[in-house]
Amino acid sequence: MVELKQSWDIFCKIVDNFGDIGVCWRLAKQLHHEHGLSVRLFVDDLSDATKILTGVSNAAEQTYEGVTVVRWGGATSFSHAADVVLETFACGLPDAYLKQMTTKTVWVNVDYLSAESWVQEFHALNGLHRETGFTRHFYFPGFIEQTGGLLREQDLMTRRSNFQQANAPQQLNFWNSLQINHRVDDLNISLFSYENAPVNAFLQSLVDGDRQASVFMPFNQHLPTPLLDQHDLAVGDAIQTGNLTLHILPFLSQEDYDVLLWACDINFVRGEDSWVRAVWSGKPFVWQPYWQEDNAHLLKLNAFLDNFYDHPDIDHTLTKLHELWSTQVFHHDVWQDYLSKLDAISAHTQQQSNHLIQQDDLVTKLVEFCVS
Ligand code: TRH
């Protein structure tokens, strides 16, 4: 008989940005809400965590949306270890926790997402932890069946389809909630990028473009300054210049950010979690990987492009635009080329997204992995 692992602990170290806590929170929520498991989420920086878990306080322990959120610091004591412990992004487990573990505890490190070919070889391997002798399993998310899959809530696609139906009232409600007079005929673009992306050159290209464009930038710590020659942009500002209207949005909840991706024609995303959400939006997107030494991020980028856009009509265009975006230069003609192929890119992205939906989601796979 298969023994269900009821209690799960997740350890999250926030290195920078929003991705660490963004991914850990999705794991925690799905394990609890969709699989009925009892979940504790240990976070090393609760004030940083509030960017995503907006309602948490700095309390040592609190229940948030059914998950027990625990402040994790040097002095944290652990009364027991869970049936399964997830170490995320190789953040390490505290010694005091390791002391509570037994040989029955399932210890899994959930790693970063990549489309590189080595991922399928390393996924599901394990090794002995030198100090304790416990087995540590390595779990790699990925885009193919032989990997750990992609995070996706069970109702996500239904919610997206409902929203994207022609004239769905949710569309107007969404834009109204942001106090935006949405123009359907504009080229609507969401923009979430790192500070080294050539954002100003891109926006200038839209200012000079032939088509009216609306750009929606959720405010985060990397808002480039100046932006379109403006120094003190704030949430709620809208700048109209040439053929561009730039809207500075508040940093949205994860749920509302999804809706923004569903509502736009093109999404610029980055890192890990917004990248996956862009895939699920089914809309064309441009991904900027998190910068890594020795241009390792460009290898990651090319592996993804080769895998996702293996299509002779569009692969060159997409590679060119992504490479520019990640190497801090921008060429108007490359953008024009991209726009001229937008219908084909759109159809292909939708098809790839639909294909990936056929695979089990990461949390479903992870739960199976831990009971087998
Ligand atoms: O913030 P990021 O750059 O996070 C990165 C990556 O995860 C990277 O791999 C990691 O090494 C580094 O952090 C430390 O990008 P990412 O992964 O897209 O995470 C952003 C999260 O923020 C994601 O959960 C979506 C969410 N988000 C909102 O909730 N509201 C918003 O308005 C926006 C723009 C994002």
Residues 188 and 306 in one domain: yes
Task: Please tell me the distance from the alpha carbon of residue 83 to that of residue 8, in angstroms, as a whole number.
Answer: 6
Residues 185 and 318 in one domain: yes
Residues 304 and 163 in one domain: yes
Task: Please tell me the distance from the alpha carbon of residue 297 to that of residue 307, in angstroms, as a whole number.
Answer: 15
Do the domain assignments include residue 19? Answer: yes
Minimum-distance ligand 1 atom for the alpha carbon of 275: 18
Name the residue type at position 297: H
Residues 332 and 242 in one domain: yes
Protein residue closest via CA to atom 4 of ligand 1: 19
Q: How many angstroms is it from 271 CA to the middle of ligand 1?
A: 6
Scanning 50-103, the segments in alpha helix (DSSP H) are 95-98
Helix, strand, or coil (residue 235)? coil
Scanning 61-106, the segments in alpha helix (DSSP H) are 95-98
270 lines ligand 1 (CB under 6 A): yes
Residues 107 and 162 in one domain: no
112 lines ligand 1 (CB under 6 A): yes
Q: How many angstroms is it from 103 CA to the middle of ligand 1?
A: 35
CATH number at residue 211: 3.40.50.2000
Name the CA dihedral angle for 231, 235, 240, 244, rounded to a multiple of 10 degrees: 100
- Could you list the beta-strand ranges (E) of the chain: 7-12, 38-43, 61-64, 67-71, 84-88, 106-110, 126-128, 135-139, 187-191, 213-218, 238-241, 244-249, 266-270, 285-288
Do the domain assignments include residue 1? Answer: no
Do the domain assignments include residue 73? Answer: yes
Contact by Cβ (8 Å): 191, 217 = yes
Task: Please tell me the distance from the alpha carbon of residue 315 to that of residue 322, in angstroms, as a whole number.
Answer: 11
The pLDDT averaged over each successive group of 10 residues in the chain (372 residues) is 79 94 98 97 96 95 97 92 98 97 97 97 97 97 98 98 95 97 96 94 96 94 81 92 97 97 98 98 98 93 94 93 94 96 97 97 97 80
Task: Please tell me the distance from the alpha carbon of residue 152 to that of residue 159, in angstroms, as a whole number.
Answer: 12
Cα dist from 338 to 194, 202, 214, 291, whole Å? 21, 13, 17, 24
Annotated active-site residue 237? The verdict is: no
Q: How many angstroms is it from 13 CA to the middle of ligand 1?
A: 14
Helix, strand, or coil (residue 207)? helix
| pLDDT of 223 | 76
Residues 40 and 89 in one domain: yes
Q: How many angstroms is it from 132 CA to the middle of ligand 1?
A: 33
Residues 146 and 70 in one domain: yes
293 lines ligand 1 (CB under 6 A): no
Domain that holds residue 283: 156-357
| pLDDT of 358 | 97
Structural domains counted in the chain: 2
Contact by Cβ (8 Å): 83, 8 = yes
Minimum-distance ligand 1 atom for the alpha carbon of 112: 9
Do the domain assignments include residue 283? Answer: yes
Structure-token pair, residue 202: 């891109």
Residues 335 and 200 in one domain: yes
192 lines ligand 1 (CB under 6 A): yes
Residues 70 and 112 in one domain: yes
Protein residue closest via CA to atom 1 of ligand 1: 18
| pLDDT of 29 | 98
| pLDDT of 139 | 98
Distance, first Cα to last Cα, the chain: 11
Residues 6+ apart with CB under 8 A from 16: none
Residues 6+ apart with CB under 8 A from 347: none
**DSSP readout, 295-350?**
GHHHHHHHHHHHHH---TTTHHHHHHHHHHHHTT---HHHHHHHHHTHHHHHHHHH
CATH number at residue 96: 3.40.50
User: Taking Cα atoms as reference points, which of 190, 179, 183, 238 lies closest to residue 211?
Assistant: 183
Annotated active-site residue 9? The verdict is: no
Pairing outcome for strands 126-128 and 135-139: antiparallel
pTM here is 0.97
Which residue among the candidates 83, 272, 273, 361 is catalytic per the annotation? 272
Protein residue closest via CA to atom 22 of ligand 1: 18
Do the domain assignments include residue 109? Answer: yes
Structure-token pair, residue 65: 């949306």
29 lines ligand 1 (CB under 6 A): no
Residues 312 and 241 in one domain: yes
Residues 271 and 140 in one domain: no
Do the domain assignments include residue 2? Answer: no
274 lines ligand 1 (CB under 6 A): yes
| pLDDT of 372 | 72
Q: How many angstroms is it from 3 CA to the middle of ligand 1?
A: 35
Residues 105 and 31 in one domain: yes
Task: Please tell me the distance from the alpha carbon of residue 93 to that of residue 86, in angstroms, as a whole number.
Answer: 9
